[in-house]
Chain A
Amino acid sequence: MTATMTQCLLRLVEEDYKLSDYQSEIAPRWCAGCGDIGILTAIQRLCRDEQIMPEKTVFVSGIGCSSRLPHYMNAYGFHGLHGRALPVAEGVKLRRPDLDVFVTTGDGDCCSIGAAHWLHAIRYNMNMTVLLHDNQVYGLTKMQASPTSPRDLKTNTTPYGAYLNPLNPLTVTLGVTNVSFVAQAVDWIPDLLYDIIAQAHRHRGLSFVRVLQRCPEFMNHRFDEAVHDPSKTRILTHSDGLRLKPEISRIYRNQETHDPLDMPRALAIAALSDEIPVGVLYRDPSVPCYEELREAERPNTPDLIRTVLDEEFDKVTIWPQVEDASTGVE
């Protein structure tokens, strides 16, 4: 509620939104050390750097710790139902291509209860930026197994260890028809997190970013190895992908030049089990967007509605008979 009319005018003069213009008056309620905080910061930085208009931006989420994110943004937000962020976002975007749509979803939200929507959202390929905050556990409901939980993880619903191998959101997404952008980031490398979200945002189509997110409350130390040993992280670089700053390059030496149009390699990278790939795995800007395929040829003006209704009525109208031929008794 901060951007009032007068402030807007002022901004026109200053031509500048500040970081604080994207922060809502509500302080984030995530646990200390929660990876969601870093993701929020990256998004707010991106909004400032891109000078995104808060009133033209909608953050849609489902339910979960991560899905609280829209409350912390000064923009339009839609904090809806567990699992249903994507269809809501699609509905928003369909007739409002002028709106910049972001989706925040958790691993339970996206890969379990919302799994059907996830696949179809990839196929629709609507122009939006989707961030999967993957902490590999259910946070909000206090530590149950999620589809991405590692095998043998002890949780409240799997006290003897998780029974199944985790679902891999990257290979699944890459396998869906019409996939146009898949990336992975980690919350503990803020620079790359920012770059990847920026690339995702720039992509025309549905950009799917899985962010490995630390949950110190329920998954403490889960990513410690990767956090402390940079060789466990494989950075994907490309002239058309990430370009690393020297200071990052110096720390993360495990790098691979990967062409984001190379799907077989993208799938192989996505399936890596001993390293965490970070970067853009796949990008194909040529995939059509559903909202463009469904774009109206004409706006629905009252005149057009009248014309089409009349055309349809004409097909089924009985006009009053001039002469009474009704009973035709022969």
Chain B
Amino acid sequence: MSMSSQASKKSKPAKQRPGNGETRLSEAPKPRPALLLDEHIVEIVSDSGEGAQRCGQSFGAIAARLGNGIWTVEIIPAEIRPPPRSIAGASGNRVRLASYRVTNGGDEADVVVAFNEQVLLSRVRTGEIKPGGIILLENMWQNDRDETIAAGYMKVCEEIRAAGYRLYEIPMEAECMKYVPDPRRGKNMFALGMLCGIYSLDAEIARAQVRFVFAKKDQKIIDANIELLDAGRAWALENLDLKFAVPASKTSEPQVVMNGNAALALGVVASGMEVCAMYPITPATSASHYLSEIFEKVGCVVHQAEDEISACAFAIGASYAGKCAVTITSGPGLSLKQEAIGLAVMGEIPLVVVNVQRGGPSTGQPTKAEQGDLLAACFGGHGDAPKVVLAVSSIEDCFYSIITARKIAETFNMVVIVLSDASLATAQQPFPRPSFNEGWLAPPIDQSAVPENALPYDWDSRTGIAPRFIPGQPGGMHCLTGLAHDRLSHVAYGPEINEEGIRQRSHKLATFQKTLKTPKVFGDKDGDLLLVGWGSTCGAIEEAVETLRARGHRVSSIHLKFLQPMASGIGDILQRFDKVMTIENNWCDSLDEDLINEENRRYSNLALLLRARYLVDVDCWGEVRGQPLKPGAIVKAALPKLEKV
């Protein structure tokens, strides 16, 4: 069985991107030919509840339907109902659309649509908008009856202009009023229409998308939204000197568009697992929401337990009874499950644990991206508890990794922890439509009689793997225990047998390790600098490597799917580069700070693992800004390492 290959069908960007992504064709006014672009990043932000997220998602979906490469990133306020018109309340979506496949949210935005100046500020102040970028701002606030609001609006406009942005003040609400009595609902469709007009996206496809989005609503609502969509387009074409086109590349195979959590949920269905026990926790919950919607249709159960401990114990019970189960959680939940995970390791019960990581420690940043749980996944519980830890690196990978995880869990009677994170949870990207394969499923559980004299922990001396007796099997009766035990599953504290059990459970991991393939090097096989990453940062790291290589730097990267155990051959790869640096959405102390030196520096998770295993002086760079890593930031971090060569 090849464990590593399933999900690594990654397509390379179709071509090298020019620096600023723009090729100006003509500047003549009407009829304006579109400016052809390789790619653009568009953001739309509003107060939460005003529909910017739906607008952004629809915009991405329309572009994807037309064959553009897209990656969408949700802009999520920290609170459910933040105060209106507040910097902290910005809610919306970033859409990167391109002529080629994109693998991350990119750097700064080219165009921002904002429903008020405060949510706009949240993007400007955090440096999310390109210098000189285009801003389309709702202008109703300038006449607000509340003078402080009107004054505030004017002040921000001045600030924005002074900073060199191209500001367009747009009477969105006033325009919408011509069509609907309550423009707060529907303004997002007007904005969507504007964007479709600006980016020359096919009108009929856009209408089809709106119909799809409102499919559950009645016809009146659908009609009103389509009217606003068309009005937005018409208004933009008439009143704005902005007209772009991002040519799409033709795809020959059907693609599906979804976010990472939806892909995880579908992966659970496709793996044939029958039970998901969970407790709600952001940002993992939406995977369970979707699974709850579809799992019963295939005769399976999502069980919302009373807490994470119970969810994990429940999943373990189901797995023990022959129905391999998954439990889906995020950081704090992983901490609570650790004792039970140790039990599954000790009892050799197959179990899939999905951790959609968020910012930590403690309650941390529930909606934000971080990769801080790698070491907790590998070593979080007490005692020596070997288990498999793998990470997903794309939306497609979310789907296939669950199938892989279940296979590993059942082949080796082991716990498999799958690490995703907040940036993949809500990011959308098209990937080739999977076609179901019965080989993904496990065979039905064995209820035949156990051979005479067979032992429940009859560890194979070459692999460490023992058979597994499932309740219902005549002759297989034994008492599984979390205490140290012998081959009969009898409690045993003898020095020999304790060491024997630990050895066998450890050796299973070694056996599994032999099935892993060496990760491919992205770029040349040797050079000055190797970047090493894991999880959701793959796209951004590889894009940074491309950029650096285009500038003549000898940089490559590898991306690790299996973090525990690690595939053979990684050490050799590390040796072929002068410097090695991990790139993680994770904390590490920087030697640039006065306080920090080689003696007290804390390394980020992966760097620590690599240093320990390969005895290579692995450096690290990371950010804990709660956002997906940007390719530009990685380029910036890598450059000093290259200059010193």
Contact = CB atoms under 8 A, between A and B. Distances in A.
B257 interface: yes
A94 B475 contact: no
A1 B301 CA distance: 32
Contact of A5 (B270, B310, B452, B477): B452
A95 B200 contact: no
B256 to A, nearest CB: 5
A84 B309 contact: yes
A80 B482 contact: yes
Interface string B250-279: 111111111000100010011010110100
A78 B275 contact: no
Contacts of A201: none
Contacts of A321: 66-67, 250
B340 A79 contact: no
Nearest to B483: A79
Nearest to B63: A326
A91 B277 contact: yes
Contacts of B298: 298, 300, 304-305, 308
A81 interface: yes
B472 A96 contact: yes
Given A87-B305, A313-B256, A317-B256, A80 B313 contact: yes
Nearest to B297: A308
A95 B317 CA distance: 10
B436 A309 contact: yes
B353 interface: no
Contacts of B203: 328
Interface string A1-13: 1111110100000
Contacts of B296: 296-297
A67 to B, nearest CB: 10
Q: Please give me the 3 A-B residue pairs with the lowest Cβ-Cβ distance, nearest first.
A: A91-B317, A77-B479, A296-B299
Interface residues of B, number: 93
A312 interface: yes
Interface in B482-519: 482-483, 488, 490-491
B199 to A, nearest CB: 9
A56 B310 contact: no
Given A305-B270, A330-B200, A8 B317 contact: no
A299 B301 CA distance: 11
A297 B434 CA distance: 26
B471 A325 contact: no
Contact of B480 (A73, A78, A98, A327): A78
23 contacts: A1-B475, A1-B488, A5-B475, A55-B473, A75-B477, A76-B469, A80-B482, A84-B310, A91-B313, A94-B275, A99-B471, A99-B472, A116-B306, A298-B299, A299-B299, A308-B294, A316-B257, A317-B254, A318-B255, A320-B254, A326-B68, A326-B202, A326-B250
B407 to A, nearest CB: 15
A245 interface: no
Contacts of A32: none
B323 to A, nearest CB: 4
Interface residues of A, number: 73
A74 B296 CA distance: 36
Interface string B426-445: 00001001101010010000
B313 A330 contact: no
A235 B482 CA distance: 39
A95 B479 contact: no
B455 interface: yes
A71 B488 CA distance: 11
Given A4-B449, A96-B322, A308-B298, A79 B310 contact: no
A55 B479 contact: no
Interface in A272-297: 294, 296-297
A90 interface: yes
Interface in A76-131: 76-81, 84, 87-96, 98-99, 116-117, 119-120
Contacts of B319: 91
A181 to B, nearest CB: 20
Contact of B303 (A6, A74, A94, A305): A94
B492 to A, nearest CB: 11
A95 B247 contact: no
Given A56-B471, A71-B490, A324 B254 contact: no
B18 interface: no
B307 interface: yes
